[in-house]
A and B are shown apart, each in its own frame.
Chain A
Amino acid sequence: MRITLTVNGERREADLWGGESLLTLLRDTLELPGSKNACEQGECGSCSVLLDGALVCSCLVLGAQAEGHEVVTVEGLADGERLHPVQEAFVQAGAVQCGFCTPGLVVAVADLLVRVPDPSEDEIRESLSGNLCRCTGYVKIFDAVRLAAEAR
C-alpha cells in the first residue's frame, strides 16, 4: 500500500506492506536510520519518535497507522547545524558512549522537558525508565537532562 505522512516537517509518500512497523518504514524506506532497532518490541525505547507530538516506540506503531499523521524523529530535532538543546546537553555532559540508545533518549528527554520544564530527580528517572542504556549507567544522562533543563 501507499501512504502519505509528514516526517520532520516534510510531506513524504511511501510504499509499504501491511505488517511493516513505523520503525522499519523510517529506517529502510524513508532513509531515516537515526531511530534505532535494539529490541523491536517496545522494551528499550531506542526507536522513540513523536507521533502527532506524543512520544511512542515506533517499533510498536504500524507504518500504515502513520497515514496522514505527523512524525518527528531524532533527525528532525536540530535546527540545521545548530543542535537541539537536549542534543547539546548530551554532548556536553558526556552522556554518549556507544550511542545506540542516544537517539531514543534525546527524543524522550526533549518530550519530557516540553511537558515538565524543571523535572525533579524522581521525574527524570521515572520518565526515562523506558529507555534502556547499557553503557553509561545513566548517571551522565541525568546530568544531561539537568543541563538541558537549565539551558531552556
Chain B
Amino acid sequence: MSVVAPRTGLTVGRIGERLLRHDAVPKVTGEFEYASDLSAPGMLWGDTLRSPHAHAHIVSVDLSKALSLPGIHAVLTHADVPGSKHYGLEFADQPVLAVDRVRYVGEPVVVVAAEHPEQAKRALGAVVVEYAPLEPVVDMERALEQEPLHPNRPTMGHGYRDDPRPNVVRHLVIRHGDPEAPGDVVVTGTYELGIQDQAFLGPESGLAVPDGEGGVDVYVATQWLHVDRDQVAPCLGLRPEQVRIHLAGVGGAFGGREDLSMQIHGALLALHTSRPVKMVYDRAESFTGHVHRHPARIRCEHRATREGRLTCVRMRILLDGGAYASSSTAVASNAASFALGPYRVDNALIESTAVYTNNPPCGAMRGFGAVQTCFAGEAQMDLLAAELEIDPVELRTLNALEPGDTLPTGQLITGSLPTREVIRRAAALPLPEPEELPRESVRLPGGAGNTTRGEGVRRGVGFALGFKNICYSEGFDDFCTARVVLRADGSAVVHSAAAEVGQGVVGVMLQVARTELGTDDVSLAPHTTAAVGSAGSASASRMTWMVAGAVRDACRAALEQRERQAGGEVDVERVYRHPRTTPLDPETGQITGERAHVALAVAAMRIVVEVDVELGLTRVVWVGTAQDVGKAVNPLAVEGQIEGGIAQGLGLAVMEELVTRDGEILNASFTDYLIPTALDMPPVDIELIEVAEPDAPYGAKGVGEPPTVVSTAAILSALRDATGRPLTRVPVRPDDICL
C-alpha cells in the first residue's frame, strides 16, 4: 500500500496555525493525479448516449450498427444492468440507463466502450433510438397539477408529509406561534432565482478496473466514497465489499459530486468487457451530467412593529428539483428551516415545496436551500428598513437571533451563534473611498469592454446577514470513521475516507493528528472504502467537524492502547458521531426531540458596488465580511473558503444562470455560462469570529457555505442601493437595471 507522505520543507501545522497544504506541491508541478489523468494497461474508453428529449417514451433502441463498428467492445442498455435498475441519494428513482422513458435532456440511455474515445463517439452516433415525445413539465407551479412524472410515487411513505399532489418530492410546513399575528407594517415581495451550476473545473471522470473475481475497483472524483459504493453495488448485483471506491484527485465539487456520474456506467462496462474502462465528460456533458442548484420562486410577507421588531413572517417557497429527487428533500427542508434568517421571530408560517419537472435535475450546491431564502429574506429586511426608515444594520441587530432564542422549528439554540458580534464587526469594516475619475477601464463597470469613462456610474453600499446549519440534520445517523496506525518508530498514518475536494480536509486531518499525537511525523493513507469505514460526505459544512472528531478519537485511543501494550505497532479505528438529531414533525414542522439541526453558523457581509445605470453593467468593488467560524483550524484555508464562497455568490448575483428552453440547457459551455474571472472578483476584508462551538471538536464549525449564502444577498442589497430598482430576481441582468 502506498502512503502519501508530506513533502519536506513545509510548515508543520498544529490546530490554529496557518498550514500550507502538502498537496499544493504536486498540484503546482502538475504531478497531482486527478480522476481524468488516470490510465491503466489495456484501458478502454467509455462514453454515454444521452436523451435529446426532456420527456419521451422510448419506443425502440437499435444497437446493431454501433456494435458492428471497429474498436467497439460493448454497447449496453438498461437490459444489461444486472441488479437494481434504479439508484438515488435518498430515493432510488433514477434509472442507471433509461428503461422505457426519459425525463430530462441529457438522461443516459446507452453506454459504450471502445479502444479509442473517437470510436466511442462514432458508436454513439450509430445507435438508433426511437422516441415518442411527451409534453414536458417545465413550470414548477404547473407541475403540481400536471401528470405525475413518477407515477409510482417513490417519495411517498418515507416519514415526510405525504402530499397527494402530483410531482411533489417534499412538501414541508413549519407553523410557529400564531401565523396570523399582525404587525404595524407589512412588506411583501416575490423573489426568483435561476439555475446555478457548480461549474467545478475538473470534469466528471473515473476509471473502473475489474478485479478478475467478479468485483470492481472504481477510482473516481466524488464527495462520499461509501455512499457511492452503497449505490453502485446493488445496481451491479454485487455485495458492497466487491465494489471498492477509491478517491481520485477531485477538481472541485461544491455539491455537484454528491450524486453519481460515471460510477455505475464505468463499472458496468468494465465488468462486461473485463477491461479497465475510463470515462471523462467534456464540459457540455458535465453541465448536463450533474445536478444543479435549485431554481426557486419565493413569496414573502414580513410583519413588524413600528420600532422594527419582527412579529410574523410568512413565506411560500417553491423549488424546482427537476427530473429526479437527488437531495431535494433536504434542500426543501433547509430552505424552510433557515427561511427567517438569523432573526428572532415568534410567529411564522413557512411552506416549502420541491417538485419534479422535466427540467435538469437539481440537488446539492454549496449553501443549498439557505442561499435561496437568504436572498429573499434579506431583500425583505432592506424593504422593511426603508419602510420604517431605520438603518438596515440597526434593524438586523434589533432582531438578531442569539443563543437562548428558538428557531421556528421550536429548536432552542444552545450552541454558539454570535449574530450581534458578526453584524457589529462586519458593519465596522471601513468602506473604501470612492475612486477618482478618470481611471483604467478595468476598474469601471463594463471593464475591458471600455463602455464608460464614468458617466452613468453610481455607487451603492449593501449589507446582508445569513446563516446555515452545520452537519446533516433531521435524524440522519451521521458518523465519521478514522483509523490511526502508530508505528514502532513513532510515526503515524491516518486512514480516512474523507473526500479532499479542494477544501483542505487533508490538512485538517494532519493538524488534528499532529496535535493529538504530539509528533510531526504523520502521513495520510489513500482515501478508499477498502481500508477504513465511512467518513460521510464532504457536504453540509460537516467534514472538518466530523473528521476532526474521528481523527481525534482514533489518536487518543491509539495512544491509550500503546500505553497498555507498552510499545509496538498500534492500529485503531474509531467512529465519531455528533449530537443526535431527530426528524421534524411531518404536519407541524416542529422538532420531535431536542434538535433537528446540529449547529448553526452565521455570517455578515458589507459590499460596495458600482453600476453603470445606463447600460446595466455592474462591478463589485469591495467585500467586507465577518464570519462565525467557531475556531479557525487553519486560518489560511478558512480565508480561502470565504473568498471562494463569495466568488460563487457573486456569480449567482450578476452572471451565472443555466438557461433552459423546454427543459434543454441552452448554454452548457464556459463561453455561454459565465463564472467570475480575475477581473470580476473584488478585494475581500475578512474578520474571523471565534466563539467555540461547545459540541464541536476543538470548537470548530464548517466554513464553506455561509459566505455563499450571504454574498448573493449582500451584492443585491448594494445593487438596489445604487439603482433604486427592486431587483427581485438573480442573476441580475443588464436590462433588469437599465430598462
B42 within 8 A of A: no
* CB-CB nearest in chain B for A24: B117
Interface string of B23-35 (1 = CB under 8 A from A): 1110111111110
Structural contact, B25 and A83, CB atoms closer than 8 A: yes
Given the known A-B contacts A134-B675, A137-B646, are A36 and B20 also in contact in the complex, defined by CB atoms under 8 Å? no
A73 and B440 form a contact (CB under 8 A): no
Is A99 among interface residues, defined by CB-CB distance under 8 A? yes
Task: Using known A-B contacts A46-B201, A125-B442, A140-B639, determine if residue A98 contacts B251 with beta carbons closer than 8 Å.
Answer: yes
Most central of B30, B282, B677, B683 by chain A CB within 10 Å: B30
Is B240 located at the chain interface by the 8 A CB criterion? no
Q: For residue A59, give the distance in angstroms from its CB to the closest CB of chain B.
A: 10
List residues of chain B with CB under 8 Å of any chain A CB.
10, 18, 20-21, 23-25, 27-34, 36-37, 39, 118, 198-203, 249-254, 280, 282-283, 440, 442-443, 448, 501-504, 636-637, 639-640, 643-648, 669-671, 675-679, 681, 683-684
Select from chain A the residue with minimum beta-carbon distance to B623.
Answer: A137
Question: Closest residue of chain B to A44, judged by CB?
Answer: B670
A128 located at the interface, meaning its Cβ lies under 8 Å from any Cβ of chain B in the complex: yes
Does any Cβ of B come within 8 Å of A129's Cβ?
yes
Q: From B30, B33, B443, give the contact of A74 (CB < 8 A).
A: B30
Q: Which residue of B lies closest to A38 (CB)?
A: B201
Q: Assess whether A129 is in contact with B678, with CB atoms less than 8 Å apart.
A: yes
| A136, chain B: closest CB distance, angstroms | 5
A106, A138, A140, most chain B CB atoms within 10 A:
A138
B283 close to A41 (CB less than 8 A): yes
Among B199, B203, B644, B678, residue most surrounded by chain A Cβ atoms (within 10 Å)? B678
Interface mask (A89-106 → B, CB under 8 Å = 1, otherwise 0): 011101011111111001
**Known interface pairs A43-B669, A44-B201. Does A91 touch B640 (Cβ–Cβ under 8 Å)?**
no
Q: Are B29 and A74 in contact (CB under 8 A)?
A: yes
Contact with B along A136-148 (1 / 0, CB 8 A): 1111111000000
Measured between beta carbons, the chain A residues less than 8 angstroms from B637 are 94
Given A33-B30, A137-B646, answer yes or no on A39-B20 (Cβ-Cβ < 8 Å): no
Q: State whether B202 touches A129 (Cβ < 8 A).
A: no
* Complex CA distance for A44 and B673, rounded to whole angstroms: 12
A102-150 at interface with B (beta carbon < 8 Å): 102-103, 106, 122, 124-126, 128-142
A39 touches B283 (CB 8 A): yes
User: Within 8 Å CB of B647, what residues of A?
Assistant: 134, 136-138
Q: A57 to nearest B CB, angstroms?
A: 12
- Give chain A interface residues in 66-102, CB to chain B under 8 Å: 73-75, 77-78, 83, 87, 90-92, 94, 96-102
Chain A's nearest CB lies how many Å from the CB of B603? Answer: 15
Q: How far is the CB of B640 from chain A (nearest CB, A)?
A: 6
Q: Is the CB of B28 within 8 A of A135?
A: no
- The docked-state distance in angstroms from the alpha carbon of A131 to that of B448 is 16
Chain A residues with CB below 8 A from B25, complex form = 83, 91
**Residue of B with least CB distance to A127:** B678
| B640 adjacent to A140 (CB under 8 Å) | yes
Most B CB within 10 A of own CB, among A19, A34, A98, A128? A98
Contact of A135 among B32, B644, B677 (CB under 8 A): B644
- Residue from A43, A87, A98 in contact with B28 in the complex, judged by beta carbons closer than 8 Å: A87
Q: How far is the CA of A39 from the CA of B283 in the complex (A)?
A: 5
Given contacts A38-B202, A39-B669, 13 further A-B contacts (CB under 8 A): A27-B37, A36-B202, A40-B283, A75-B31, A96-B27, A97-B503, A98-B252, A98-B502, A103-B27, A131-B678, A132-B675, A136-B643, A136-B647
* CB of A145 to closest CB in B, whole Å: 10
Q: Are B201 and A133 in touch, CB under 8 angstroms?
A: yes
**Nearest-CB distance from B80 to chain A (Å)?**
27
Contacts of A4 in B (CB 8 A): none
Whether A98 and B201, one on each chain, are in contact in the complex, defined by CB atoms closer than 8 angstroms, is: yes
Report yes or no: B24 in contact with A135, Cβ–Cβ below 8 A.
Answer: no
Note all chain B residues with C-beta closer than 8 A to A122.
440, 442-443
Say which residue of B118, B252, B440 sits within 8 Å of A100 (CB atoms). B252
Q: Could you tell me if B677 and A132 are in contact, using CB atoms closer than 8 angstroms? A: yes
Asked whether, in the complex, the Cβ of A35 is within 8 Å of the Cβ of B202, the reply is no
Residue of B nearest to A86 (CB): B28
Contacts of B636 in A (CB 8 A): 94
* CB atoms of A136 and B677 under 8 A apart: no
CB pair B282–A132 under 8 Å, yes or no, is: no
- A61: chain B residues at CB < 8 Å are none
Query: Cβ of B20: which chain A residues have Cβ within 8 Å of it?
Result: 91-92, 94
B36/A99 in contact, CB under 8 A: no
B203 lies within 8 A of A38 (CB): yes
Q: Establish whether residues A91 and B28, one from each chain, have CB atoms under 8 Å apart when the complex forms.
A: yes
Q: Which residues of A contact B251 (CB under 8 A)?
A: 36, 38, 98-100
Complex contacts, A128 vs chain B, CB 8 Å: 677-678
- Whether A140 contacts B643 by the Cβ 8 Å rule is yes
Task: Flag if A126 contacts B24 (CB, 8 Å).
Answer: no
The 0/1 profile, CB within 8 Å of B marked 1, for residues 5-47 of chain A is 0000000000001010000000110001111111111011010
* A75 lies within 8 A of B504 (CB): no
Instruction: Give the distance to chain A from B14, nearest Cβ to Cβ, in Å.
Output: 17
* CB nearest to B254 among chain A residues: A134
Query: Bound complex: CA of A41 vs CA of B443, how far in Å?
Result: 28
B113 CB to nearest chain A CB (Å) = 16
A99 contacts B32, C-beta separation under 8 Å: yes
A136/B640 in contact, CB under 8 A? yes
Assuming the A-B contacts A41-B671, A99-B23, are A137 and B283 also in contact, with contact meaning beta carbons closer than 8 angstroms in the complex? no
Contact across chains for A83 and B502 when beta carbons are under 8 A apart: no
* Chain B residues positioned under 8 Å from A137 (CB to CB): 640, 643-647, 676, 681, 684
Contact B442 A99 (CB under 8 A): no
Contacts of A133 in B (CB 8 A): 201, 678
Evaluate whether A134 and B199 lie within 8 angstroms (CB atoms) in the complex, with A38-B283, A100-B34, A126-B448 already known: yes
Question: Quick check: B203 and A99 within 8 Å, CB to CB?
Answer: no
**A-B contact list, 17 entries, CB within 8 Å:** A34-B31, A36-B36, A36-B202, A41-B671, A43-B670, A44-B201, A46-B201, A91-B21, A96-B23, A99-B28, A99-B32, A132-B201, A136-B647, A137-B643, A137-B684, A139-B684, A140-B639
- Contacts of B669 on A, CB cut-off 8 Å? 39, 41, 43
Is the CB–CB distance between A99 and B679 below 8 Å? Answer: no
Taken together as a complex, chains A and B put the C-alpha atoms of A83 and B7 apart, in Å, by 12
Is B283 a contact of A87 with CB atoms below 8 Å?
no
State which of A32, A36, A73, A78 has its C-beta within 8 Å of the C-beta of B201. A36
Q: How far, in whole Å, are A54 and B440 apart by their CA atoms in the complex?
A: 26
Max chain B Cβ within 10 angstroms of own Cβ: one of A37, A78, A101, A129:
A37
Q: Which B residues lie within 8 Å of A34 (CB)?
A: 29-31
Closest chain B CB from A110 CB (angstroms): 11
The answer to whether A90 and B644 touch across the interface, beta carbons within 8 angstroms, is no
Nearest-neighbour CB distance to chain A for B437, whole angstroms, equals 15
Contacts of B671 in A (CB 8 A): 41, 43
